[in-house]
Amino acid sequence: MEKVKTYIAAVLAILFWGLSYIWSGRLVAQGIPVEYFLPIRIFFAACLLLIVNLVCGYSLHIHRNHLLTFFLLAACEPFIYFFCETYGIQFTGSPTISSLVIASTPVLAMVAGVVFFKEHITWQHIVGMVICLVGLVLVTKAHRGESRLFYFGLAVLVLAVVAEVAYASLTKALTDGYKPSVIVMYQFFIGSIFFLPLFLTRGMEHYDPDLYNSWSVWEPLLCLCILCSTVAFALWAYAIGQLGVAKSSIFQALNPVVTALAGFILGDEILCGGQWVGLGIAIFGVILTQLNLGSKNLFAKKA
């Protein structure tokens, strides 16, 4: 039953994050600066989590020897990751391409899981990950970046991947001592402090009350705040604690699948026949990484 809950948590988190590319893209398309909506997103999410933690009676005490870990956690995500991810969407001009780059996270996460946490990795996991990535290439191969900053955007997204793997590793180190929602709450409050100078300068530089207070801005912003930050990050912290860094990060390969489907349903992007095939292959690859076929650990020491 615990494994079922873990998989549901991971899938829901990925579902909301996949949709976040669509909602972030809509804000960027309206000229809303990243420095404005990212701080608002994470600060309101932190406030919501504070209320949830108080209602649930969870301990909010942080051990002194974990202060640096929380600081680094917030620096990796939300600050570095969100900043690079959102700018990546802006520079590449495609939510689907951006989510594909982020989907390479399991490659680095697998290495981190083995090196830092001695996690169980088999040929089955590697084959499933490769199959998934092949499917993702099919999903996005029909799209060509038209932005003149396309390749710079790709480089920024790669930095986001590095920050995400570091975040997952730090979260894993904290999950034994804190509730997932408490970890994310402090992560967002500290992250809000990082973003404050950018919010007060570039974020408010071209503030237009008519635009910024319109429903076309607040609708995607509320979705990002409540679903993609408050709910998704709490679910993801729980999934990392149960599955480990490598296996949980493999679920992130589904981000482009969700983004592509959401874009198709909402009319933001059009999928061709090959892309539909790619979606199926990608999903199969993720399922393969989660099945227990009795494979031996590739990195287990021989007696």
Q: What local confidence, expressed as pLDDT, does residue 303 receive?
A: 42
Q: Is 213 part of a structural domain of the chain?
A: yes
User: Which residue is listed with tokens 């995500």?
Assistant: 77
Q: Is 114 part of a structural domain of the chain?
A: no
CA dihedral for 134, 136, 137, 138, sign (positive or negative): positive
Q: Using CB atoms within 10 A of its CB, is residue 61 exposed (0-12), middle (13-18) or buried (19+)? A: exposed
pLDDT in tens, the chain (303 residues): 777 888 888 888 888 877 887 788 889 889 998 889 989 999 999 999 999 999 999 999 999 899 999 999 999 988 888 778 777 877 877 666 666 666 666 666 666 556 555 656 677 667 777 777 777 667 655 554 455 677 787 788 878 888 887 887 888 888 888 988 999 999 999 999 999 999 999 899 889 999 999 999 999 999 999 998 889 888 888 888 887 766 676 676 666 667 667 766 666 666 667 767 776 776 677 666 656 555 555 445 544
Domain residue limits at 171: 2-109+145-244
3-state secondary structure of 236: helix
Q: What local confidence, expressed as pLDDT, does residue 19 receive?
A: 80
Total number of domains constituting the chain: 1
CA dist 263 and 19 (Å) reads: 8
Q: Is 267 part of a structural domain of the chain?
A: no
Q: Is 210 part of a structural domain of the chain?
A: yes
In this prediction the pTM is: 0.70
Among left, alpha and beta (phi > 0; psi -120 to 50; other), residue 190 is alpha
Angle at 195 between CA 106 and CA 49, to 5 degrees: 70
CA dist 265 and 111 (Å) reads: 35
User: Which residue is listed with tokens 């420095």?
Assistant: 35
Q: Is 137 part of a structural domain of the chain?
A: no
Q: Is 174 part of a structural domain of the chain?
A: yes
Q: Using CB atoms within 10 A of its CB, is residue 4 exposed (0-12), middle (13-18) or buried (19+)? A: exposed
Q: Is 250 part of a structural domain of the chain?
A: no
CA dist 274 and 109 (Å) reads: 28
Question: How far is Cα of residue 227 from the mean position of the Cα atoms in its chain?
Answer: 12
Q: Is 83 part of a structural domain of the chain?
A: yes
Among residues 231, 196, 188, 183, the alpha carbon closest in space to that of 44 is found at 188
